[in-house]
Homo-oligomer: A and B are copies of this chain.
Amino acid sequence: MKLNAAYGQLPPAFFFTEIGARVAAYRADHPHEKLLRLGVGDVTGPLSPVVIEALRRAVGEQSRAETFHGYLPETGTDFMKAAVVSYYGRRGVALSPEEIFISSGAADDLGAIGNLFSTDSRVLVAEPAYPAYVDTSRMAGRRVLPLLGTRENGFLPLPGDDLDGDLIYLCSPNNPTGTAYTRLQLQRWVDWANERQAVIVFDAAYEAFVQDGDVPHSIYELPGAETCTVEICSLSKTAGFTGMRLGYTVVPQALTREGCSLHDMWTQDRTTRTNGVSYVIQRAGEAALSPAGLRYNREAIAVYQENGRILADALTKAGLWFTGGRNAPYLWLPCPEGMTGWAFFERLLREAQIVVTPGEGFDAGGAGHVRLSCFGSREDTAEAARRLRTVF
């Protein structure tokens, strides 16, 4: 019996537990202070009325033998795939339903997409990053080469002529830095991948937050992306579905390597490793991507976008350099005076009763930074902005 030795080499997943413990300890000592939570990467809900109505209808169908749904296609129902096709069509991206794979959320597909590649593939990860890209790669025994976001490159690393790798994870708009590649910048990655026969895994989970016209929502808005990119997305932030679990992955039929169709390989992977997503959740997703659902989502997101403006304004007035707050629900800033993210976390907690996320939770290049999130209420965010300006 030999276990997968890579697991033992990963750091324990204590990060958010540690934040929770520190916050709880502070709260126990200061029971009357109001804490403002800018650390959370979660939506506050509720779901839109049109989604609730679709859920109720689907539950009703499951209550009667004549309308009951058992096993569904592993890669998604026709109606949910059609909803995603239409969602992409609004931005001029023409996908076929077969190219869309409905999932229980982006995390699940990010956890499995690496299966398609040889374990000796060289994996590039634009960092700091959501830890799953690096962790799942290491769990499979793959070598990870960090591609560092820095203040100099505006936390948007780009490929140089000498950059080499087989697989690259890009997240734009970015968690945790809040940055987003423009069309011109992202085109450089597409061209690089096509030239090198590399594959881009593009995490588009925050696409619904894009406000600037020169920032693409989907990488498929760019010519050539269909021959080099797998795009993974989620309704978590688009439609407040973090607790509902629904996402999708696009693997274009034009994406081939070494004479093999990655689309066919992913079909094989999904039909073998999963039995698809709940009927009622897929009906909820269809409703979330309907015109009425999208209108509601836009209004919900506008609240978070306004929070981003409020926080960005406060940091600007305090004379601080930061990224994000415009095309993504996060702001990212270097800690003052060379502090670690954890030290600055403690300072903001003690001096301003604000909870942020230390950059140390986002792999290479994250240390010495903190992430602020825009998912709080308007009132709490405005109060946090006031307190931030008193700290600086």
Contacts and interface: CB of A to CB of B under 8 A. Distances in A.
Interface stretch (A146-154, A178-186, A266-274, A382-390): A266-274
Contacts of A110: 273
Interface string A187-218: 00000000011110000000000000000000
A105 B279 CA distance: 13
A28 interface: no
B56 A59 contact: yes
A290 interface: no
B107 A275 contact: yes
Contacts of A243: 62, 68-72, 278-279
B108 A2 contact: no
Interface string A222-234: 0000000000000
Given A3-B118, A7-B269, A278-B278, 17 more contacts: A1-B117, A2-B118, A3-B258, A3-B260, A3-B262, A3-B265, A4-B116, A7-B268, A13-B268, A46-B65, A49-B63, A56-B59, A62-B243, A69-B243, A104-B104, A104-B278, A132-B273
29 contacts: A1-B197, A3-B117, A3-B260, A3-B262, A7-B268, A10-B268, A42-B71, A43-B70, A44-B68, A45-B62, A45-B70, A46-B65, A55-B280, A56-B56, A69-B243, A70-B243, A104-B104, A104-B274, A108-B108, A110-B273, A111-B112, A112-B112, A132-B273, A139-B269, A243-B278, A278-B281, A280-B280, A280-B281, A281-B281
